Amino acid sequence: MRPETDPLTLEEHLQLSREIRAARVRMRELCDVVVGAYGPNNRAAFIFLRVLDDMDRLCQNLQAQVSEDYPGPDVEHLYV
Protein backbone atom coordinates (compact mmCIF):
# COMPACT_ATOMS: atom_id res chain seq x y z
CA MET A 1 0.00 0.00 0.00
CA ARG A 2 1.12 3.49 -0.81
CA PRO A 3 1.38 5.79 2.21
CA GLU A 4 -0.84 8.86 2.21
CA THR A 5 0.87 12.09 1.29
CA ASP A 6 0.08 15.68 2.08
CA PRO A 7 -1.60 17.53 -0.79
CA LEU A 8 -0.07 20.66 -2.21
CA THR A 9 -1.11 23.80 -0.42
CA LEU A 10 -3.28 26.26 -2.28
CA GLU A 11 -0.28 28.60 -2.55
CA GLU A 12 1.77 25.77 -4.06
CA HIS A 13 -0.99 25.08 -6.58
CA LEU A 14 -1.08 28.78 -7.46
CA GLN A 15 2.67 28.86 -8.02
CA LEU A 16 2.65 25.59 -9.98
CA SER A 17 -0.18 26.78 -12.21
CA ARG A 18 1.70 30.01 -13.02
CA GLU A 19 4.84 28.05 -13.91
CA ILE A 20 2.96 25.55 -16.05
CA ARG A 21 1.03 28.26 -17.89
CA ALA A 22 4.30 30.03 -18.71
CA ALA A 23 5.87 26.76 -19.84
CA ARG A 24 2.86 26.00 -22.07
CA VAL A 25 3.09 29.41 -23.72
CA ARG A 26 6.81 28.97 -24.37
CA MET A 27 6.39 25.41 -25.65
CA ARG A 28 3.66 26.57 -28.03
CA GLU A 29 5.99 29.31 -29.36
CA LEU A 30 8.80 26.79 -29.88
CA CYS A 31 6.40 24.31 -31.47
CA ASP A 32 5.21 26.99 -33.91
CA VAL A 33 8.82 27.64 -34.92
CA VAL A 34 9.58 23.97 -35.56
CA VAL A 35 6.27 23.22 -37.31
CA GLY A 36 6.69 26.37 -39.41
CA ALA A 37 10.20 25.40 -40.43
CA TYR A 38 9.76 21.67 -41.00
CA GLY A 39 6.02 21.08 -41.34
CA PRO A 40 3.70 19.06 -39.11
CA ASN A 41 4.86 15.71 -40.51
CA ASN A 42 8.43 16.19 -39.28
CA ARG A 43 9.38 13.92 -36.36
CA ALA A 44 10.48 16.81 -34.10
CA ALA A 45 7.31 18.77 -34.91
CA PHE A 46 5.21 15.69 -34.17
CA ILE A 47 6.89 15.28 -30.77
CA PHE A 48 6.34 18.97 -29.97
CA LEU A 49 2.65 18.54 -30.74
CA ARG A 50 2.50 15.44 -28.53
CA VAL A 51 4.21 17.28 -25.69
CA LEU A 52 1.64 20.07 -25.93
CA ASP A 53 -1.17 17.50 -25.81
CA ASP A 54 0.45 15.87 -22.78
CA MET A 55 0.80 19.24 -21.06
CA ASP A 56 -2.91 19.86 -21.67
CA ARG A 57 -3.71 16.46 -20.14
CA LEU A 58 -1.46 17.25 -17.17
CA CYS A 59 -3.29 20.53 -16.61
CA GLN A 60 -6.66 18.76 -16.71
CA ASN A 61 -5.48 16.26 -14.11
CA LEU A 62 -4.00 18.97 -11.90
CA GLN A 63 -7.25 20.93 -12.21
CA ALA A 64 -9.19 17.89 -11.04
CA GLN A 65 -6.79 17.45 -8.14
CA VAL A 66 -6.91 21.06 -6.94
CA SER A 67 -10.71 21.01 -7.24
CA GLU A 68 -10.78 17.93 -5.03
CA ASP A 69 -8.28 19.36 -2.53
CA TYR A 70 -9.80 22.86 -2.37
CA PRO A 71 -13.40 22.83 -3.65
CA GLY A 72 -14.88 26.19 -4.52
CA PRO A 73 -14.86 28.97 -7.08
CA ASP A 74 -11.34 30.16 -6.20
CA VAL A 75 -9.76 27.24 -8.05
CA GLU A 76 -12.24 26.68 -10.90
CA HIS A 77 -9.86 27.66 -13.70
CA LEU A 78 -6.49 27.47 -12.01
CA TYR A 79 -4.86 25.14 -14.54
CA VAL A 80 -7.28 25.19 -17.49
Nearest to 50 by CA among 65, 40, 37, 61: 40
**Does residue 4 surpass a pLDDT of 80?**
no
Q: Which domain holds residue 41?
A: 10-75
The answer to the question of residue 57 being in a domain is yes
Of 73 and 11, the structure prediction assigns the larger pLDDT to 11
Q: The whole model's pTM is what?
A: 0.84
* Per-residue model confidence as pLDDT tens digits over 17-43: 999 999 999 999 999 999 999 999 999
Q: Give how many domains the chain has, as a whole number.
A: 1
Instruction: Write down the mean pLDDT value for the chain.
Output: 93
The answer to the question of residue 1 being in a domain is no
pLDDT at 80 (0 to 100): 86
The answer to the question of residue 27 being in a domain is yes
